[in-house]
Structure 1
Amino acid sequence: MALTDTTIRNAKPGDKPLKLFDGGGLFLLIAPTGGKLWRLKYRFDGKEKLLALGAYPDVSLKKAREHRDEARKLLADGVDPGANRKAQKAAKRASAADSFEVIAREWFARFAPTWAETHSSKVIQRLEKDVFPWLGSRPIAEITAPELLTILRRIEDRGALDTALRAKQNCGQIFRYAVATGRAERDPSGDLRGALAPVTHQNFAALTDPKDVAELLRAIEAFRGTFIVKCALQLAPMLFVRPGELRTAEWTAFDLDKAEWRYLVTKTRTEHLVPLPSQAVAILRELHALTGQRHNVFPGRDQRKPMSGAAVNAALRRMGYDTKTEITGHGFRAMARTILHEELHFKPEVIEHQLAHKVPDALGTAYNRTRFLNERRIMMQQWADYLDRLRAGAQIVPIGLHTN
C-alpha cells in the first residue's frame, strides 16, 4: 500500500533498519536511531542501484514522490539518475569556482601588489560594497550586459556617478581577465559604452597668477600651526609632488648630501627622482632634528603613521583659502606647471618629467627618471629662488638662458 503522512509519523524505529515502501522503488528507511531517510531503488544496465532523496520531514512524502518520478523519466531516457546527480553537483562546484567574486578576488590578488595601497583599497572596497552582493555568486560566463547595467544604475541612483564609471572599469578588467584565463567568452561591459551618465571632472583649484602666489607664500611663512605641517606647506609648492607622496615621504628615500629624493610614483609604481633645491634641503635638515628618528618625514598624531591626507588642505583653509575654488594641496602642481612654462620659460617636456607624467620619447620610453636630470636640477633651484623672490615682494624678471 502507498504510504501516508500519518503512517510515516507514527512509524517507530526498531532494533534493525525498517523499510516502508511506497511503490515504484521509493521507500522510507527508518534507522534504529529514529532517522527517516528517503531512498529510491532502481536498476540501470542490469545493476541494482540506490539513490538518496533526503530525510523526512525536510523532504515531504509529496516531494519524495516528485523526485522518484523525475528519476523514472531519466531512466526512460536512458540516463542513470545517480550519475546525473553527480554531474549536476560537479557543475555547481565548477560554477562556484568560476563565480564573479572568486575570479575578481583572484584578479585582485594578482595585480593589487603593483598598485598604490590607496588605489587597491578603493578598488576592493568598491567591489565588496557595490558589486559582490549582487553579482558575486553568479557564474562569470553567464553575466549579461543588462545584468551588469542594473548594478551600475543602482550606484548611479545614489548620485555616485564617478563610482559607477569606476565600477564598470573594474568589472571590465575582471571580465577580460576571465576571458584570458578561459573562464568566460567575452567582456559584457563593452556593450555598455555610453549607457552611464558622463562625469565632468573639475580641475584642482590652483593659483597661477604670480601676485596671488606671492600672497600665498607669505601666508605660509606666517602660518602658526604645528612645525611639521608648516614644513609640509613650505615644501608643497617648492617640490610640487602629489600630496600623497609628500605626506607619506620616508626618511630612507632622502639623500640630503646629494640633494635627492627618490620614491615610487603612486600612480605608475615607477621610480621618480626629485632634485632638491638648497631651500628644501635646509627645511628638511631642520625637520630631521624633530622627526629624523622616525620612519615618516611628516608623522601624524599616531607617530607610527604619516600625517592625515586632510592636513595640508585644512591648513590652507585655516589661512583663509577656499580649497574648492582657490588652492588645494594638489593645486601646487598646476601652479608650478603653469608658471615654470609661462613665466620662467622652461621646456614643457622638462616640466612634465619633473611632474612624473608619462612622456613618450623617441625610443618609446614612457618615463625615464634620469631624463633631463641636469635641466631639472637647474629648474628646481631656479623655481625655489623664484618663489623666494615672490614671497619677498621683489620684482620678477624671467630668465630665459636655460631654454637653449
Structure 2
Amino acid sequence: MAKYLIKSDATIKAAKPKPAPYRLFDGDGLYLLIRPDGKKWWRLDYTIAGKRKTISIGVYPSTGLSLARDKAKGARALVAANTDPSDARKAAKVKQAEANEAERRVAEGIPLENSFEAVARAWYAKKSSSWVPSHGDKIIRRLERDLFPWLGARPIGEIKPPEILAAVRRIEARGAIETAHRALTNCGQVFRFAVAEGHIESDPTRDLRGALEPVKGGHMAAITEPAKVAELLRAIDAYRGSLIVRCALQLAPLVFVRPGELRKAEWAHIDLDAKEWRFTVTKTDTGHIVPLAPRAVEILREVQALTGRGRYVFPSARTSERPMSDNAILAAMRRMGIAKEEMTGHGFRAMARTILDEVLHFDAHLIEHQLAHAVKDPNGRAYNRTAHLEQRHLMMRLWAGYLETIKAGANVVPLHGRAAA
C-alpha cells in the first residue's frame, strides 16, 4: 500500500473513499483511516512492552490535523514514560464516571461510594438484623449525629487517625465521655468491616487506644456493700407501684441478667418445675441457663397469675404485646429514692459479681458463667451453656439465701476458701 504524507487539511478533504479502507500516513505511527462510507478516523500505532498496539485519536473533521498531532504527541509521551495510552484513557473514563456518580449521589443526598458513610451504612445493614432494635437505633443515631458530619463524605481509604480522633474528641468536649468511647468503637467496627470487604488494608483506629479520657465508673453504678444491699432489698419489698414492676425488681438481684434480658423474659423460656430459665443472649447469640432459686420461683409464680397467659413475664403497662419499657425499673428505683449515682438496672450484675466473689468466695469461672460472659476451658475452648450447671444451681440457691438473710438484718459469716466447682 502506498504511503501518503498529510501536508494539510486540504489533503484530507481531497481524499475520497474507496471500495476498501485505506490509510493516509502522517508519520511516527499517526494515520487517518478512510472507510468506504466516507468516515475518516485518526489512529496511532505504538509499541509498549514489546507489543504493537493501536489507539483511536478522533474523527475527522471534529478532530482536525493539528489537534490529532497534539493528541498523538501526548500519547507518545505516555509511551515514553512506560504508560499505555489505552490504559490511561480507560482510567480517565473510570475517573469521569466516578465523578459523575459522585455528583448524582450528592444531588440525591446519597452517600458517596466508598465514603465512610457508605461503608458504615453497609456495615450497619449487615449487622443490625441481629441486634435488639433499640441498640441498633442508638448506633445509627450516633453515627449520623457525631461521625458522618465530619467523616461521612471522606473516602474511607484516606481517613487517618488524627481525623478520627478529632471527631470523637468533639463528643468528649461536650462531656459525653462514654459516648465518645462508643463512637470510637463503632468507627473501629466500620473500618474492620472495610478491611474484610477489601476497601482498605488496615484499621486506623488501632493506633488510638488510650487517646480518650477514661470513662468514670459511675455510668453503671452498683451497690455492693452488704449492709446497703440489705437496705435496697427492703426498699424493693416495700415498693408500692404495680405488681409487675415490683416482681421484676425483686427478681433482678436473684438472677442478675442484663436489664434487657429481664424485661423481655418470656414464659415460653421458663420452666418453673425444673427451676430454670433458658434463653439466647442477644449480645453474643449464645444459649444461656439461669437456675432459679426457690425465692425466684415464688416471685415468678406470683406474677404468673397476672401475666402467664401472655408472651412476656413483664409486659408493658400499655399492651401485653410488648415487654416492659427499658425505663420502668429505673423509674421505680428513682421513686424509691435510689439515685442513679447509687444504682442502675445493670448494677445488679456488679452487685452479684462482687459479693459472690469477695464475700461468699465462689470460684470466678462459676460467676462468669452465670453472668453469661465468655469462659474457656483449660484447652481454650468455650464452655457450653450447660457447663457446671449443678454447681450453678447450688450457687444461685446460696446467693438467694444470702440475700434473704441480710435483708432480715442478720450478720452473715463469709464462706472461707473457694466454693466447690
TM > 0.5 between the two? yes
Q: 1:47–1:164: structure 2 CA closer, same or farther, 3 Å change rule? A: same
Query: Which secondary structure does the structure 2 equivalent of 1:77 belong to?
Result: helix
C-alpha separation in 2, matches of 1:313 and 1:50? 80
Aligned equivalent of 2:229, options 194, 199, 213: 213
Measured against aligned partners, the alpha-carbon deviations of 1:309-350 in whole angstroms (never above 9, x if no partner) come to 22222222222222313x322222222223323433322221
Aligned equivalent of 1:313, options 330, 333, 343: 330
Query: Which secondary structure does the structure 2 equivalent of 1:97 belong to?
Result: coil
Aligned equivalent of 1:344, options 360, 363, 370: 360
Query: Which secondary structure does the structure 2 equivalent of 1:364 belong to?
Result: coil
C-alpha separation in 1, matches of 2:350 and 2:215? 21
**Structure 2, unpaired ranges of 5+:** 1-39, 44-56, 76-84, 103-111
Amino acid at match of 1:320: G
Work out whether residues 260 and 276 of structure 1, in 8 Å CA contact, stay in contact via their aligned partners in 2: yes
Work out whether residues 240 and 332 of structure 1, in 8 Å CA contact, stay in contact via their aligned partners in 2: yes
Q: 1:143–1:236: structure 2 CA closer, same or farther, 3 Å change rule? A: same
Query: Which secondary structure does the structure 1 equivalent of 2:278 belong to?
Result: strand
Q: 2:286 corresponds to which residue?
A: 270
Work out whether residues 288 and 372 of structure 2, in 8 Å CA contact, stay in contact via their aligned partners in 1: yes
Work out whether residues 277 and 291 of structure 2, in 8 Å CA contact, stay in contact via their aligned partners in 1: yes
Q: 1:342–1:165: structure 2 CA closer, same or farther, 3 Å change rule? A: closer
Query: Which secondary structure does the structure 1 equivalent of 2:283 belong to?
Result: coil
How far is the alpha carbon of 1:84 from its aligned partner? 7.6
TM-score (norm 1): 0.74
Q: Which moved more, 1:245-254 or 1:142-151?
A: 142-151
Work out whether residues 356 and 367 of structure 1, in 8 Å CA contact, stay in contact via their aligned partners in 2: no
Q: 1:88–1:202: structure 2 CA closer, same or farther, 3 Å change rule? A: same
Q: Are 1:48 and 2:68 matched, yes or no?
A: no
How far is the alpha carbon of 1:76 from its aligned partner? 5.5
Q: 2:174 corresponds to which residue?
A: 158
Q: 1:204 corresponds to which residue?
A: 220
Aligned equivalent of 2:349, options 318, 321, 333: 333
Aligned equivalent of 1:77, options 60, 66, 74: 74
C-alpha separation in 1, matches of 2:326 and 2:224? 23
Work out whether residues 117 and 152 of structure 2, in 8 Å CA contact, stay in contact via their aligned partners in 1: yes
How far is the alpha carbon of 1:395 from its aligned partner? 4.7
Q: Are 1:89 and 2:86 matched, yes or no?
A: no
How far is the alpha carbon of 1:354 from its aligned partner? 1.1
Work out whether residues 115 and 269 of structure 1, in 8 Å CA contact, stay in contact via their aligned partners in 2: no
Q: Are 1:322 and 2:339 matched, yes or no?
A: yes
Amino acid at match of 1:219: A
C-alpha separation in 1, matches of 2:222 and 2:91? 68
Aligned equivalent of 1:297, options 313, 316, 326: 313
How far is the alpha carbon of 1:236 from its aligned partner? 0.9
How far is the alpha carbon of 1:139 from its aligned partner? 2.3
How far is the alpha carbon of 1:383 from its aligned partner? 1.7
Work out whether residues 42 and 68 of structure 2, in 8 Å CA contact, stay in contact via their aligned partners in 1: no
Work out whether residues 357 and 367 of structure 1, in 8 Å CA contact, stay in contact via their aligned partners in 2: no
Measured against aligned partners, the alpha-carbon deviations of 1:160-185 in whole angstroms (never above 9, x if no partner) come to 23323322222222223223322223
How far is the alpha carbon of 1:150 from its aligned partner? 3.5
Q: 1:147–1:262: structure 2 CA closer, same or farther, 3 Å change rule? A: same
How far is the alpha carbon of 1:371 from its aligned partner? 1.5
Q: 1:187 corresponds to which residue?
A: 203
Q: 1:328–1:152: structure 2 CA closer, same or farther, 3 Å change rule? A: closer
Q: Which moved more, 1:230-239 or 1:297-306?
A: 297-306
**Structure 1, unpaired ranges of 5+:** 1-41, 52-69
TM-score (norm 2): 0.71
How far is the alpha carbon of 1:147 from its aligned partner? 3.2
Q: 2:32 corresponds to which residue?
A: none
User: Larger Rg: 1 or 2?
Assistant: 2
Identity %: 53
Q: How many pairs are equivalent?
A: 345
C-alpha separation in 2, matches of 1:120 and 1:140? 22
C-alpha separation in 2, matches of 1:381 and 1:71? 91
Amino acid at match of 2:99: K
Q: Which moved more, 1:233-242 or 1:386-395?
A: 386-395
Q: 1:71–1:208: structure 2 CA closer, same or farther, 3 Å change rule? A: farther
Measured against aligned partners, the alpha-carbon deviations of 1:371-390 in whole angstroms (never above 9, x if no partner) come to 21101111111222222233
How far is the alpha carbon of 1:128 from its aligned partner? 1.8
Amino acid at match of 2:359: E
Measured against aligned partners, the alpha-carbon deviations of 1:250-277 in whole angstroms (never above 9, x if no partner) come to 2221111211111222432221100111
Work out whether residues 350 and 372 of structure 1, in 8 Å CA contact, stay in contact via their aligned partners in 2: yes
How far is the alpha carbon of 1:293 from its aligned partner? 2.2
